[in-house]
Amino acid sequence: MGLTSPYWTMSADELAKELGSQTSGLTSSAAEERLATYGDNSVRATQEAGPVRLLLRQYESPLVLILLFGAGVSFALKDWTDAIIIMLIIAGSTALGFSQEYRASQAVRRLRARLALKVRALRDGQVITIDASKLVPGDVILLSAGNLVPADGIILDARDFLVTEAALTGESFPIEKAPGLADANAPLAKRRNAVFLGTSVRSGTATVLIARTGEMTELAAIAKDITTTDQETDFERGVRRFGYLLTRIMMAIVLFVFTVNMMLHRPLIDSMLFAVALAVGLTPELLPAIVSVTLSAGAKRMARRGVLVRRLTAIENLGAIDVLCTDKTGTLTKGVVELDGALDPTGETSAEVMRLAAINARLETGIENPLD
């Protein structure tokens, strides 16, 4: 549903008309039709890896591929004991990594289900509670202190309505919102008549007309900009390079041994089998298993401290950090302003100043500064 102008530049009546809605909300049938058109009100920042993809990812390591090659050679030479041992090592290593990452993915999925938002919306002229994922453009919702904003929209009515937008703007102070108009080129922080998905209501109440949901929201646009496919970690890169180095060394040794045997007029088949068997013997069969066991142990220790590890190899990257840079207050700190004291004009502590400030704060409403 395309709009002729940015929704934050339009009055409530104009926006409702373009959305085919009204300030009293949608009917249930109209909402269902729009839900079928626009889809659920959700932001899918990344494509979650399914069980098959998680399992196949365990075999992307060159070390595991080398072991698979070694197992194949052992089978070809009918060395069943070595072949079975190598396959058991591969199975144990990959199963350990897969189980850890799969459990982490399931835990994240369960957390998301538990945190599913509910919202009060006007449907058929009545206030009902629905899943936030079922919101559509044109819906009218009611927000109050403590609510998370479920979609983008404009303020129809508000009273002492303050919203924390740190997730979008980085500003830790709440912003007072009220009905009105904003400039078409106004940045997010200046759109005082609009609310956005991903923000939270600090105080007050408001009635909001939803203009954008799901992938059309500002949060979704930011997510698309910062989201990429899973990047290779430094640890994975190091293992991959080590695997390639090991492969080159093995190939060089195989060629050298095979060439020497041929120069000594040894039988061709025996020389080839001996060279390949030597390459298999150089393979560090236990290395992938050791890596998986060690990283899994680290993941379990972190889990006991409340940290959920989705990819085992990310642990090594975390441990390799020397300097962590973050933006500002509110990211790692509490993001809460606290009163340390009240001073008079001479810089001395004053109980009278504290008393007057308390009276002033008590009688004021809708102040942007949470300290007031």
Q: Which residues are catalytic?
A: 327
Give 99's strand partners.
none
**Residue 175 in contact with residue 167, Cβ under 8 Å?**
no
**Residue 159 in contact with residue 204, Cβ under 8 Å?**
yes
CA distance 265 to 17: 91
How far CA 103 is from CA of 97, 110, 131, 180, in Å, comes to 10, 10, 26, 48
Specify the residue for token string 């994975």: 236
- The β-bridge relationship of strands 126-131 and 152-164 is unpaired
213: tokens are: 């949901």
Give 61's strand partners.
none
Which residue pairs from 2-6 have beta carbons closer than 8 angstroms and sit at least 24 positions apart in sequence?
A: 3/211, 5/184, 6/184
Q: Within 10 Å of residue 293's Cβ, how many Cβ atoms? A: 15
DSSP string, 190-248: G-TTEE-TT-EEEEEEEEEEEEE-GGGSHHHHHHHHH--SPPPPHHHHHHHHHHHHHHH
